[in-house]
Amino acid sequence: MVRLLGRSRTRSTPRPEGPRERTGRAAILRSALSGRSVAGQVFLLQVVIVLLLVVSAVVALVLQVRHDSTQEARNRSLAVAETFANSPGTREALSSADPTAALQTRAEAARRASGVDFIVVMNTDGIRYTHPKPDRIGKNFVGNISPAQQGRTSVEEINGTIGRLVQAVVPVKEPDGKVVGLVSAGITTANMGGVANRQLPIVLAAAAAALALATAGTALVSRRLLRQTRGLGPYEMTRMYEHHDAVLHAVREGVIIAGGEGRLLLANDEAQRLLDLPHDAEGRHVLDLGLDPDTAALLSSGRVVTDEVHLVGDRLLAINQRPTDLQGGPPGSVATLRDSTELRALSGRAEVARERLKLLYDIGVGIGTSLDVTRTAEALAEVAVPRFADFVTVDLADSVLHGEDPEAGTDVRRTAFSGIRDNAPLYPVGEHIRFVATSPQAHSLRTGEAVVEPELDEAPGWLAQDLRRTTKVVEYGIHSLITVPLRVGPLAMGVVNFWRSEKPEPFDEEELALAEELVARAAVSIDNARRYTREHNMAVTLQRSLLPRSLPAQSALDIAYRYLPAQAGVGGDWFDVLPLSGARVAVVVGDVVGHGLHAAATMGRLRTAVHNFSSLDLPPDEILGLLDELVARIDLDEATEESSAAITGATCLYAIYDPASRLCTVARAGHPPPSLVRPDGSVEFPDVPAGPPLGLGGLPFDTAELKLEEGSRLVLYTDGLVEDRDRDIDAGLELLRTTLTATGRRSPEDTCRAVLDALLPARPSDDIALIVADTRVLDADHIAEWEVPSDPVAVGEIRAAVTRQLAEWDLDVLAFSTELILSELVTNALRYGSGPIQVRMLRDHSLICEVFDGSSTSPRLRYAAGTDEGGRGLFLVAQVAERWGTRYTPAGKVIWAEQPLP
């Protein structure tokens, strides 16, 4: 401070400079540069440093140049030797009658062009064929050629006849790898140098410039010291100290200087006021001034502190202390005292405001991430503890938890709890609560107003809720409550309760306003979750209503299935099992891309279409073709509606299994391939042609026919099982293969469970449909077949054979109706069809009669008039049989009829 005041005084009142002063200043400058002054010593030190830097730079330069020269010599000699050894004609010249005549001229030309000192070609024994000095041709090569004789390249540094050099030896090899000669190229390191000689003058010039700058810097420093110390007489010094004293006692910050032995040397007016020092404090020991022990110990210790806060009386003082002997001064310490009472109070209020804003921000960010009502309520409770309250409970109406609009009343269910401890005697989570009319919660639900209860032990309305429980709550230490209704518009979904136990102060009006803001922000997220829950439940209900509730009776496949809707929203995955004629079964799985009600509704339309198309007994590729046309027509019909989304992207897999022939026919439209588990436990994914997704059109669908052994297992699924955000489809298929291999011969139900345990993601982003079907085979003794000759007399023979077979099956009761059915069907085949004609009878869960013929003409049921002589055959078949129909084969058609077993 003294120095600053003195410098200010000197600059503000400059005096004119006379000749004597200029002469004196020059003498001082010469003295400074002579080395007897500090400036001179600085100058000498700078010279020594510059010289050291110059020497270091020269040494480093020489070492670097030597290293770079050697490295360059190695690289150049190796490159030249390898180039010459592999150049055209070198290997042939070594095999010639006179290698020297063929190679000497080329070697010298290459040496001059590349800048190396020599290129020597030699045989495998090291006898030179070429050399820059012809008198050395035919002599042994000087150097290590062993690596090159073994087919390896070597580089070495040696002292040769021309000085220190680096040479490389490279083998010349035949195509089969045999070494037929050696090539060496070398260069002296002296020829690679010269960089240091060119850069050394630059370094020396830089050193000279540095010395000049050091001299100029020392002169400037000496001149500045001269300017700051000359011309100050007693009067100026007196005024300087007067200014210092005035500033010391007028500053609004306490200053205390203590000696090395702990005695008070100086205390300005502000320090005496803040510490309430006695008038004779200066000269006394700090510990004897009546200060509080902590402050007195700090001031007497002399330790370094920065803004250490001490309570002195009713004031908060921020103390900074530093020693005075850091720069060679006298021992002791100087401390500054700053009154921070008002600042602390203001900063405390600002900190509280900042924490509240941060809490509001965290509420807005943290609780809107989930669309689950319960999880959103739990997030609200977790964020508010312990930053705002010690315990937080959220009570919601049951209808809100199910996505419905809340009903008027005070019945709620405890949905979320969070607290600094878990043993609080509050209602547990899941408890159904009916608040009494006098409770603050009931008041909030009725009026929509928040209520603060500062002292719970003096709140009779709250105590009346459950006297035994409320008494335990008070005894536990919970003493204050804020109840805020969860409202969105006129709907009161529940209440949020903030409980305080740790802080002795009750909740106040400012905290009530903050609680209302917290709950208002959370109410929007809870209402969004409630609405989403309602929409999700509606979509799931619609989707489940469109899926099969139970599988139809059939004996071809032993089937287990699973359907799991996505967590984020229902999709369009579906499946079905459809019994067909001839004891066959169709299994179908499909997927409509997208989520929501539109996808679920579209899935229902496709499933209905599959039901209708399957009744036509068409092969899988034709079924997919009809579905493709249907989807394209649906998209075309809805193209003009802005709210309707195209369903292009729907996939489907359709498989038909025949237990009589063990043949499984499969076709797929953009769907993942089925998985086949053989009876020996091996797992494969059959090569089923992958058609385009439904709705694209233009491309036909192909089928694959799989001959399955008895006990084989078919696994059909949608892509949600094997594909996820964190797993591509190839990894999912491999995991499915591993899981199916590990399941062995478990039942289809156990296999479904094992597959889902292994592949199901934590939060599925897509629907999952899974079907596991074990194949069965219709026993040969349950099948009867006959060839029918093209003769009407054969009808009687067929009736007799059928009667005998029914007797063997203990089905004599069906003899009459079966004879009638086959008589009419065989007669129609003989009269209107073409050969060959076959009859097959199957005993399954029903009795199936089938007549095969080579015609593609389908019979039509009609009602004959009273005067007609014919036309009643199919009418009789339809009356006797439970079901009948026609299906087409590549060789013709089949007319079939089923009768229930007795």
Task: Using the predicted structure, report yes or no on whether residue 225 has a pLDDT greater than 70.
Answer: no
Residue 168 in 3-state DSSP? strand
- pLDDT for the residue 413: 93
- pLDDT for the residue 476: 93
- pLDDT for the residue 456: 92
Distance between CA atoms of residues 776 and 556, nearest Å: 5
Bridge partners for 684 per DSSP:
676
Residue 478 in 3-state DSSP? coil
The predicted-structure confidence for 275-329, as pLDDT tens digits, reads as follows: 888 888 888 888 888 888 888 888 888 888 887 888 787 777 888 888 888 766 6
The predicted-structure confidence for 816-847, as pLDDT tens digits, reads as follows: 888 888 888 888 888 887 878 899 999 988 89
- pLDDT for the residue 296: 85
- Least-confidence region, from 289-298, 641-650, 741-750: 641-650
Task: Using the predicted structure, report yes or no on whether residue 692 has a pLDDT greater than 80.
Answer: yes
Place of tokens 């209503």: 545
Contact at 8 Å (CB) between 186 and 117? Answer: yes
The predicted-structure confidence for 623-636, as pLDDT tens digits, reads as follows: 999 998 888 887 77
Contact at 8 Å (CB) between 657 and 708? Answer: yes
Q: Is 695 left (phi over 0), alpha (psi -120 to 50) or beta?
A: left
- Least-confidence region, from 7-11, 97-101, 386-390, 720-724: 7-11
Q: Which residue did the predictor score with more confidence, 468 or 568?
A: 468
- Least-confidence region, from 366-370, 522-526, 706-710: 366-370
Place of tokens 């496949």: 557
Longest dimension (CA), the chain: 159
- pLDDT for the residue 284: 87
Task: Using the predicted structure, report yes or no on whether residue 389 has a pLDDT greater than 90.
Answer: no
Q: From edge to edge, which strands make up the β-sheet containing 332-339?
A: 264-267, 254-259, 332-339, 315-323, 305-312
- Strands (E) in 651-731, as ranges, are 651-658, 663-669, 675-677, 683-684, 690-691, 704-707, 713-717
The predicted-structure confidence for 17-40, as pLDDT tens digits, reads as follows: 544 445 545 554 454 445 445 555
Query: What is 766-804 written as a DSSP string?
Result: S-EEEEEEEE----GGGEEEEEE-SSTTHHHHHHHHHHH
Q: What global pTM score does this model have?
A: 0.51
The predicted-structure confidence for 756-798, as pLDDT tens digits, reads as follows: 999 888 777 788 889 999 999 988 889 999 998 888 888 888 8
Instruction: Tell me the average pLDDT across 641-668.
Output: 81
Instruction: Tell me the average pLDDT across 173-178.
Output: 85
Task: Using the predicted structure, report yes or no on whether residue 733 has a pLDDT greater than 80.
Answer: yes
- pLDDT for the residue 1: 36
The predicted-structure confidence for 61-118, as pLDDT tens digits, reads as follows: 677 766 777 777 788 888 888 888 888 888 888 888 888 888 888 888 888 888 888 8
Instruction: Tell me the average pLDDT across 800-804.
Output: 90
869 pLDDT band, cuts 50/70/90, is: very low
Contact at 8 Å (CB) between 603 and 546? Answer: yes
Instruction: Tell me the average pLDDT across 449-476.
Output: 91
Residue 163 in 3-state DSSP? strand
The predicted-structure confidence for 120-142, as pLDDT tens digits, reads as follows: 999 888 898 898 888 888 888 88
708 pLDDT band, cuts 50/70/90, is: very high
Classify each residue of 580-595 as buried b or exposed e, where b means 16 or more C-beta atoms within 10 Å of its C-beta: bbbbbbbbbbbbbbbb
Task: Using the predicted structure, report yes or no on whether residue 810 has a pLDDT greater than 60.
Answer: yes
- Least-confidence region, from 523-537, 557-571, 677-691: 557-571
- pLDDT for the residue 224: 63
Instruction: Tell me the average pLDDT across 582-586.
Output: 91
The predicted-structure confidence for 429-447, as pLDDT tens digits, reads as follows: 999 999 999 999 999 999 9
- pLDDT for the residue 5: 35
What's the mean pLDDT when you consider all of the chain?
Answer: 81
At 252, list the tokens. 């609004």
Instruction: Tell me the average pLDDT across 558-586.
Output: 84
- pLDDT for the residue 272: 81
472 pLDDT band, cuts 50/70/90, is: very high
Q: Which residue did the predictor score with more confidence, 199 or 64?
A: 64
Distance between CA atoms of residues 451 and 679, nearest Å: 71
Distance between CA atoms of residues 739 and 242, nearest Å: 94
Which residues have C-beta within 8 Å of that of residue 865, sequence separation ≥ 6?
A: none
- pLDDT for the residue 868: 44
- pLDDT for the residue 518: 85
Instruction: Tell me the average pLDDT across 582-599.
Output: 83
- Least-confidence region, from 160-174, 239-253, 565-579, 708-722: 239-253
Distance between CA atoms of residues 267 and 258, nearest Å: 9
- pLDDT for the residue 151: 85
Q: Which residue did the predictor score with more confidence, 815 or 198?
A: 815
Which residue from 311, 327, 310 is spatially nearest to 319, judged by alpha carbons? 310
Which residues have C-beta within 8 Å of that of residue 712, sequence separation ≥ 6?
A: 676, 677, 678, 679, 774, 775
Contact at 8 Å (CB) between 155 and 78? Answer: yes
Which residue from 854, 859, 824 is spatially nearest to 838, judged by alpha carbons? 854
- Least-confidence region, from 77-81, 291-295, 389-393, 645-649: 645-649
Q: Which residue did the predictor score with more confidence, 317 or 669?
A: 669
- pLDDT for the residue 292: 85
Which residues have C-beta within 8 Å of that of residue 760, sequence separation ≥ 6?
A: 564, 721, 768
Which residues have C-beta within 8 Å of that of residue 446, sequence separation ≥ 6?
A: 410
230 pLDDT band, cuts 50/70/90, is: very low
